Structure 1
Amino acid sequence: MPLPTNLILNTDSYKASHWLQYPPGTDATFFYVESRGGLYDRTVFFGLQAILKGWLAQPVGHADVDEARDFFAAHGEPFNEAGWRHIVDTHGGRLPMRIRAVPEGSVVPTHQALVTIESTDPEAPWVPSYVETLLLRLWYPVTVATLSWQVKRCIAAFLDKTSDDPAGQLPFKLHDFGARGVSSAESAAIGGMAHLVNFMGTDTVQGVLAARTFYGEPMAGYSIPAAEHSTITSWGRDREVEAYRNMLRQFAKPGSLVAVVSDSYDIFAAIREHLGKTLRDEVIASGGTLVVRPDSGDPVEVVHQCVALLDEAFGSTLNGKGYKVLNHVRVIQGDGVNPQSIRAILERLTGAGYSADNIAFGMGGALLQKVDRDTQKFALKCSAARIDGRWVDVFKAPVTDAGKFSQRGRLTLIRHREYGTWKTVPIPEGVASAADMALDHGWEHAMETVWENGELRVDQTFAAVRKRAALA
């Protein structure tokens, strides 16, 4: 369902009144974004460029101001019509503000500034606050990328222990099954793209297209032919083996993979009888790899049983690290998959002597939907304002919740070249902007100006984003 694209209306209702609420003499404001902790102690920064290109690249026009004026008049909020007309007439509809951020793909400890937003027109100091709602939606791609990255670390550890080719196996070990489980096509695009920072397997088409649109990646993810329950059960229970045979004849070719959901009736019988006996020779002769997909029951127990039954039917080879690798077949688990069950399945399989090569995972709702802003406690706060020509610190310190204390002053993020330490620091008085700060003793700037007065200053490629995340 297409939604309105008027930038002025991409905000919270109460934001329309905030231009009247700053102290007299305020002509500049400074905001920052941070993760105030949460489930993980580090975040993978990603998604800002998509927001900038998707929303801020389109200038505001007088027709947009007219529409917003009429909406807020009926909605019960005051509206800064003169301020928005000024932006259209003076800045060509481009928002007068500067955005600095860490390079996308950077893995940064929590409690550090990831983005700073500052006004650049003394006549429009209210602009950064107005777009808080839009910019804080960063929490979603950052959180999905972080979750995916953490799962990648888990799987990588098991591959390092049990696989002869961990680097070659890892990119396709977590497949995105989440498109149908999210709230919108936009969520599928943003979340699916965020997952692809870490992996290359996906069935979320919107995520691949978003990576192409916003980061210039021609093909960020890949999939394989796979059965669903309807394409198996439409053959009827008595012809289940024919449904599997059809999958093999249609898609199993030398070097190919084909996935077959096998639990429509009795997955253990399907492996023992249909796949392991009746079709065994066809599987082997095809030269392809058959990927069996369980889709019900206890994930840890069912996966272990399936791998053991496939081992009985097709045999396995002991690799260089002393773990068994199935011949001709693999398993993908796509039901009940989350970070905890992934670890539990891998612990069971490797404990039984099987390499992590044998299993891949498909994660849906747990990857793209079962996260929220509080997963990593994201916040966008004002930390400084220039009033009567003097910068003053702006902060909150609620007595009821120390976790909501905010940072104060104009801020930037620096990183130590040798030790890799990150530190959020104040910009000294008298220094115009963070970019003008002189650093020494091994510290370097960790932020760069990515957007200024309606212009994208840094256009990051998806390949560069992936490389940063992989190196962390």
Structure 2
Amino acid sequence: MQSDTTPFHDMASILSNPILNTDSYKASHYLQYPPEASAMFSYIESRGGRYDRTLFFGLQMLIKEYLCRPITPAMIDQAKAFFTAHGEPFNEAGWRYIVEHYEGYLPVRIRAVPEGSVVPTHNVLVTVECDDPQVFWLASYLETMLMRVWYPITVATQSWHLRNTIRAYLEKSSDDLTQLPFKLHDFGARGVSSAESAAIGGSAHLVSFMGSDTVLGVVAANHYYNEPMAAFSVPAAEHSTITSWGRERETDAFRNMIAKFGKPGAIVSVVSDSYDLFAALEVWGTTLKQAVLDSGGTLVIRPDSGDPLTIVLQTMRALEASFGSTVNGKGRRVLNNVRVIQGDGVNPDSIEAILAAMDEAGFAADNIVFGMGGALLQQINRDTQRFAMKCSAIRLDDEWHDVRKDPVTDAGKRSMKGRLTLLVNRHTGEYRTVTLPLAWDDRTVEGDWDEALVTVFDSGKLLVDATFSEIRKRAHAAEG
């Protein structure tokens, strides 16, 4: 049993130590490169996957959290003790060099496409370069930490594509597009692997939507992206707040929700399948109907079991029979005073299927809000968009050389070579990955193409501090 005097007793300090935020084998790599190596260049891309375009988001969070604080002698001591006991060599001289010559800040340059940009796969999204011969290997050592940007990018990408799906049905069936930001609510906090995942993934979802019950995701968006309040929620019942009344008093539990939260303009969400959804719908449409109408608010019924496609339409038909509906300008029916939120079995396929079935039945997309949990924040992985970070160039003495992986067993894993950047056509918005040399000052290149990558971090300094509103605006401009 380790004593509390060891360097390993404080998990908070371990998790905040960039030297330990890597893979074990990275510790030995400084001994494996050519002896004349003096600089290194790496890049991140999506090599394809479920979606043909990715929404870039989340790098600013990683940089602020892990790279804007200096390496300290205590961190080096902690890492040295770990790797020595772990069976790996440790480049103590290299890390102490960083402390002595850079005050602990990592001498790497990170360039990236602006967050919120929607870029076709197979393009460079991030580049990492270190040109100090003493610590050139940093460009690869940071791979483990930086590669985790796959997670917020993939969440943001999925939500952006779902926003496009929902938007298409609203345009077809609704007179009110202003409701779009609240059509897909984040229910994912309890289904993720950690609090950090809730924060990172939850904030990524909010690039496209403004409804969330994942508190840490909203807090992260506010904190890392300078946003006063990135998302909103409403009072909502869970099963315990209904079943605690007992089955015989379920109607009283429902009535209490309206009494406590039903005010003019308010939205009240009530889960209604604790015992018998159809009996509950009958109660809402008879015994409690006048209370709902008198409240001046909107009642949102949440069915939480059964086949989503079937249950949503059955719920809407029952509510329409009780509360009525109005035909909008698109010829679709909009329920009066009530809506449905579907939070069970929600994923990209079921969202599309439910909206299509509603449209076929003559219901406007106004009538539904989706709550998405595990499929939103957890049922994705690095291979969903096939993310990779690879070294593509190395400087030997004073000359740059291309580096490339090209396995004969899998052409899909072929990497790009050279010092790379991303261009964007100022007229068409088309992206193109090209090799340098181009100036590092982000100058406009000749012709119709501009450099799309900007330097966001250099030797401990965050050079771009984007706001959430800027990122949303950029993402929304790419819709369609």
TM-score (norm 2): 0.96
The answer to whether 1:174 aligns with 2:184 is yes
> Which among 330, 334, 356 is matched to residue 339 of structure 2?
330
Partner of 1:218: 228
> Which among 239, 248, 255 is matched to residue 249 of structure 2?
239
Partner of 2:211: 201
Helix, strand or coil for the counterpart of 1:450? strand
Note the alpha carbon deviations across 1:49-94, whole angstroms, 9 max, x for none: 0000000011000111111111100000000000000000100000
Determine what percentage of the aligned residue pairs are the same residue.
63
Contact 2:340 2:367 in 1 (8 A): yes
The answer to whether 1:352 aligns with 2:358 is no
1:125-136 aligned at under 5 Å gives the runs: 125-136=136-147
Shift of 1:7: 1.1
Note the alpha carbon deviations across 1:405-441, whole angstroms, 9 max, x for none: 000000000011112110000003xx5x543676212
Contact 2:187 2:371 in 1 (8 A): yes
Task: Measure, in 2, the Cα distance between the counterparts of 1:357 and 1:344.
Answer: 16
Task: Measure, in 1, the Cα distance between the counterparts of 2:433 and 2:58.
Answer: 21
Task: Measure, in 1, the Cα distance between the counterparts of 2:428 and 2:320.
Answer: 47
Shift of 1:4: 2.7
Task: Measure, in 2, the Cα distance between the counterparts of 1:374 and 1:382.
Answer: 19
Task: Measure, in 2, the Cα distance between the counterparts of 1:117 and 1:218.
Answer: 31
Q: Are the structure 2 counterparts of residues 244 and 277 from structure 1 closer, same or farther at C-alpha, using a change threshold of 3 Å? A: same
Task: Measure, in 2, the Cα distance between the counterparts of 1:237 and 1:66.
Answer: 61
Task: Measure, in 2, the Cα distance between the counterparts of 1:186 and 1:74.
Answer: 28
Shift of 1:281: 0.4
The answer to whether 1:186 aligns with 2:192 is no
Contact 1:427 1:434 in 2 (8 A): no
1:135-146 aligned at under 5 Å gives the runs: 135-146=146-157
Shift of 1:213: 1.5
Task: Measure, in 1, the Cα distance between the counterparts of 2:160 and 2:351.
Answer: 13
Count of aligned pairs:
467
> Which among 123, 126, 129 is matched to residue 115 of structure 1?
126
Task: Measure, in 2, the Cα distance between the counterparts of 1:89 and 1:363.
Answer: 49
> Which among 242, 249, 264 is matched to residue 274 of structure 2?
264
Give the letter aligned to residue 307 of structure 1: M
Helix, strand or coil for the counterpart of 1:466? helix
Task: Measure, in 2, the Cα distance between the counterparts of 1:387 and 1:440.
Answer: 30
1:65-464 aligned at under 5 Å gives the runs: 65-166=76-177, 168-272=178-282, 274-428=283-437, 433-435=439-441, 439-464=445-470
Give the letter aligned to residue 216 of structure 1: N
Contact 1:412 1:434 in 2 (8 A): no
Helix, strand or coil for the counterpart of 2:40? strand
Partner of 1:467: 473
Note the alpha carbon deviations across 1:175-211, whole angstroms, 9 max, x for none: 0000000000000000000000000000000001101
Task: Measure, in 2, the Cα distance between the counterparts of 1:55 and 1:351.
Answer: 50
Helix, strand or coil for the counterpart of 1:8? coil
Contact 1:413 1:425 in 2 (8 A): yes
Task: Measure, in 2, the Cα distance between the counterparts of 1:43 and 1:466.
Answer: 14
Note the alpha carbon deviations across 1:123-173, whole angstroms, 9 max, x for none: 11001111100000000000000000011000000000011012x110000
Give the letter aligned to residue 145 of structure 1: A
Unaligned runs of 5+ in 2: 1-10
Shift of 1:350: 0.9
Partner of 2:6: none
Note the alpha carbon deviations across 1:273-305, whole angstroms, 9 max, x for none: x10000000000100000000000000000000
Note the alpha carbon deviations across 1:73-123, whole angstroms, 9 max, x for none: 000000000000000010000000100000000000000000000003221
Contact 2:442 2:453 in 1 (8 A): no
Task: Measure, in 2, the Cα distance between the counterparts of 1:268 and 1:196.
Answer: 34
Give the letter aligned to residue 376 of structure 2: L
Shift of 1:212: 1.6
Task: Measure, in 1, the Cα distance between the counterparts of 2:107 and 2:325.
Answer: 63
Contact 1:300 1:345 in 2 (8 A): yes
Contact 2:152 2:201 in 1 (8 A): yes
Contact 1:427 1:437 in 2 (8 A): no
Give the letter aligned to residue 199 of structure 2: A
Give the letter aligned to residue 25 of structure 1: E
TM-score (norm 1): 0.98
Task: Measure, in 2, the Cα distance between the counterparts of 1:107 and 1:288.
Answer: 38
Task: Measure, in 2, the Cα distance between the counterparts of 1:4 and 1:407.
Answer: 32
Task: Measure, in 1, the Cα distance between the counterparts of 2:392 and 2:408.
Answer: 18
Task: Measure, in 2, the Cα distance between the counterparts of 1:52 and 1:18.
Answer: 23
The answer to whether 1:56 aligns with 2:45 is no
1:7-18 aligned at under 5 Å gives the runs: 7-18=18-29
Helix, strand or coil for the counterpart of 2:350? helix
Q: Are the structure 2 counterparts of residues 251 and 300 from structure 1 closer, same or farther at C-alpha, using a change threshold of 3 Å? A: same
Task: Measure, in 2, the Cα distance between the counterparts of 1:33 and 1:437.
Answer: 22
Shift of 1:388: 1.8
Helix, strand or coil for the counterpart of 2:384? coil
Task: Measure, in 2, the Cα distance between the counterparts of 1:120 and 1:183.
Answer: 37
Give the letter aligned to residue 409 of structure 2: T
Helix, strand or coil for the counterpart of 2:229? coil
Unaligned runs of 5+ in 1: none
Contact 2:443 2:450 in 1 (8 A): no
Contact 2:444 2:451 in 1 (8 A): no
Give the letter aligned to residue 235 of structure 2: P
118-127 or 108-117, which deviates more? 118-127
Give the letter aligned to residue 269 of structure 1: A
Give the letter aligned to residue 477 of structure 2: L
Helix, strand or coil for the counterpart of 2:96? helix
Contact 1:143 1:375 in 2 (8 A): yes
Q: CA RMSD in A?
A: 1.0
433-442 or 232-241, which deviates more? 433-442
